[in-house]
């Protein structure tokens, strides 16, 4: 089974996913896809010698180029990890049930357009929530609204800055996302 990771940023989740599957028989990360030629995730892919592809908006939305890439690399499962563009229907239809995203809040709280990265943790901080967490969910045409697969709660302490909250959530993401992807793939392909 081959995984593609779609990411737009630093790629710390991509890093933990790639490392995790180095030790798992029959499943590997075959491709990293990004829309951002400067994304840190490209260094991550390079370091682990995972092939990567840089895509443009027109490749994703005006053609079937990205779907063709998925075929070319024989991709079975797509994990979004900080990918900032919405995923078009041609890919969603082909990968129904096999395309997931991770979001650094307890959806439906702090979800939707514009709610990403530090915006989320700042909002949690402002609301004085005593806990936050992460959500792994199926991807649909609506932002952050697909069926929830896993949620992990973690505490927010009164002394936390938004950065502290972000760091804690990200550490939980690294612990949970690779194992959840493995579980989903094995669950669907017993």
- CB atoms inside a 10 Å sphere around CB 117: 12
- Least separation, in Å, of the C-beta of 164 and ligand GRF? 14
**Does residue 115 bind ligand GRF (CB under 6 A)?**
no
Does residue 182 interact with ligand GRF by CB under 6 A?
no
Helix (H, G, I), strand (E, B) or coil at 18: helix
d(CA 42, CA 39): 6
Contact 131, 118 (CB under 8 A): no
Q: With contacts defined by CB under 6 A, name the span among 54-62, 99-107, 124-132, 153-161 that binds ligand GRF.
A: 99-107
Residue-wise DSSP of 34-99 = ES-TT-THHHHHHHHT--EEE--HHHHHSSSHHHHHHHHTT--EEEESS--SPPPHHHHHHTTTSE
Q: Among the candidate windows 9-17, 46-54, 106-114, 122-130, which touches ligand GRF by CB under 6 A?
A: 9-17
Q: Is 144 in the site for ligand GRF (CB under 6 A)?
A: no
- The span from the CA of 168 to the CA of 105, in Å, is 11
103 is catalytic: yes
Catalytic residue among 20, 103, 118, 125: 103
Q: How far is the CB of 103 from ligand GRF (least distance, A)?
A: 5
Query: Which member of 33, 50, 103, 110 binds ligand GRF (CB under 6 A)?
Result: 103
Radius of gyration in angstroms for the set of CA atoms belonging to the chain, rounded to a whole number: 16
- Shortest distance, CB of residue 102 to ligand GRF, whole angstroms? 4
Show which residues are catalytic: 103
Residues lying near ligand GRF in the complex (CB under 6 A): 7, 9-14, 81-82, 102-104, 170, 173
């Amino acid at each position: 089974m081959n995984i593609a990771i779609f990411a737009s940023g630093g790629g710390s989740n991509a890093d933990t996913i790639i490392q995790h599957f180095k030790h798992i028989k029959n499943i590997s990360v075959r491709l990293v896809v990004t829309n951002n030629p400067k994304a840190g995730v490209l260094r991550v892919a390079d370091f682990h010698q995972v092939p990567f592809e840089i895509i443009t908006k027109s490749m994703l939305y005006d053609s079937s180029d990205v779907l063709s890439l998925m075929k070319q690399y024989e991709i079975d499962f797509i994990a979004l990890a900080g990918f900032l563009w919405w995923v078009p229907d041609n890919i969603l239809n082909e990968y129904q049930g096999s395309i997931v995203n991770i979001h650094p809040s307890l959806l439906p709280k702090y979800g939707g357009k514009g709610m990403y990265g530090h915006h989320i943790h700042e909002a949690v901080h402002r609301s004085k929530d005593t806990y936050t967490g992460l959500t792994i969910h199926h991807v649909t045409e609506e932002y952050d609204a697909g069926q929830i697969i896993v949620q992990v709660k973690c505490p927010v302490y009164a002394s936390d800055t938004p950065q502290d909250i972000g760091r804690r959530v990200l550490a939980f993401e690294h612990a949970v996302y690779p194992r959840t992807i493995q579980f989903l793939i094995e669950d669907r392909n017993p």
